[in-house]
Amino acid sequence: MTEPTSDLLRFATVGSVDDGKSTLIGRLLVDTRQLFDDQLEAVATASAKRGVGDLDLSFVTDGLRAERDQGITIDVAYRYAATPTRKFVIADCPGHVQYTRNMATGASTADVALVVLDATKGLKEQTRRHLCIAALLGVRNVIVAANKMDVAKWDEAVYFAVVDQVNEVSARLGFTSSVVIPVSALAGDNVVDPGFMANWYQGPTVLQALEAAPAGSWASSSSGARLPIQWVLRQHGGGRTYAGMVNGGEFTVGQEVTLMPQGVKTVLKAINGPRGGLEVALPGLSVDFDLTDETDAGRSDMLATAPLPTSTNEFEATICWFSDKPLTDGARLRLKHTTRSTPVRVTGIAGTLDVGTLEVGPASEIALNDIGLVHLATAEPIVVDNYRDNRVTGSFILIDEVTNATVAAGMIGHANFL
Ligand X SMILES: Nc1nc2c(ncn2[C@@H]2O[C@H](COP(=O)(O)OP(=O)(O)O)[C@@H](O)[C@H]2O)c(=O)[nH]1
Residues near Mg ion (CB under 5 A) are 21-22, 73
| Binding segment toward ligand X, per CB under 6 A, in 148-156, 170-178, 300-308, 337-345 | 148-156
- Which of helix, strand or coil describes residue 293? coil
Tell me how far apart the 2 most distant CA atoms of the chain are, in Å: 75
State in angstroms the smallest separation of the CB of 326 from ligand X.
27
Build a one-symbol-per-residue string for 335-374: x at contacts with ligand X by CB under 6 A, - elsewhere: ----------------------------------------
Nearest-angstrom CA–CA distance, 113 and 169: 14
- Which of helix, strand or coil describes residue 240? strand
Which of 17, 74, 232, 308 forms a contact with ligand X (CB under 6 A)?
Answer: 17
Residue 151: name its binding partner from ligand X, Mg ion, other proteins, none (Cβ under 5 to 8 Å by kind): ligand X
Contact (Cβ atoms closer than 8 angstroms) between residue 411 and residue 318? yes
Please, which of residues 359-418 interact with other proteins by CB under 8 A? 391-392, 395-397, 399, 403-406, 409
Nearest-angstrom CA–CA distance, 173 and 169: 6
* Listed residue (298, 313, 307) closest to 412, CA to CA: 313
Please, which of residues 149-178 interact with ligand X by CB under 6 A? 150-151
Residue 162 — φ and ψ, nearest 5°? Answer: -65, -45
> CB-wise, 255 or 357, nearer to other proteins?
255
Residue 397 — φ and ψ, nearest 5°? Answer: -125, 155
Residue 399: name its binding partner from Mg ion, ligand X, other proteins, none (Cβ under 5 to 8 Å by kind): other proteins
Which of 57, 116, 183, 282 forms a contact with other proteins (CB under 8 A)?
Answer: 282
Residue 391: name its binding partner from other proteins, Mg ion, ligand X, none (Cβ under 5 to 8 Å by kind): other proteins
| Binding segment toward ligand X, per CB under 6 A, in 144-152, 155-163, 261-269, 410-418 | 144-152
Please, which of residues 222-251 interact with ligand X by CB under 6 A? none
Residue 10 — φ and ψ, nearest 5°? Answer: -100, 125
Please, which of residues 184-223 interact with other proteins by CB under 8 A? none
Q: Which residues contact 293 (CB under 8 A, 6 or more apart)?
A: 264, 266, 267
Residue 79: name its binding partner from ligand X, other proteins, Mg ion, none (Cβ under 5 to 8 Å by kind): other proteins
State in angstroms the smallest separation of the CB of 197 from ligand X.
11
Residue 148: name its binding partner from ligand X, Mg ion, other proteins, none (Cβ under 5 to 8 Å by kind): ligand X
Build a one-symbol-per-residue string for 85-124: x at contacts with ligand X by CB under 6 A, - elsewhere: ----------x--------------------x--------
Q: Which residues contact 276 (CB under 8 A, 6 or more apart)?
A: none
Q: What count of other Cβ atoms lies within 10 Å of the Cβ of residue 113?
A: 29
Which of 10, 11, 14, 22 forms a contact with ligand X (CB under 6 A)?
Answer: 22
List C-alpha distances in Å: 217 to 86, 112, 173, 240, 404: 15, 8, 17, 34, 31
Nearest-angstrom CA–CA distance, 119 and 144: 10
Contact (Cβ atoms closer than 8 angstroms) between residue 201 and residue 157? no
Size of the site for other proteins (CB under 8 A): 73
Contact between 105 and other proteins (CB under 8 A)? yes
Kindly state the DSSP code that residue 32 receives in the 8-state scheme: T
> CB-wise, 165 or 247, nearer to other proteins?
247
- Which of helix, strand or coil describes residue 56? coil
How big, in percent rounded to 5, are the helix, strand and coil portions of the chain?
20, 35, 45
State in angstroms the smallest separation of the CB of 373 from Mg ion.
30
- For ligand X, the binding residues (CB under 6 A) are 17-23, 58, 73, 95, 116, 147-148, 150-151, 184-186
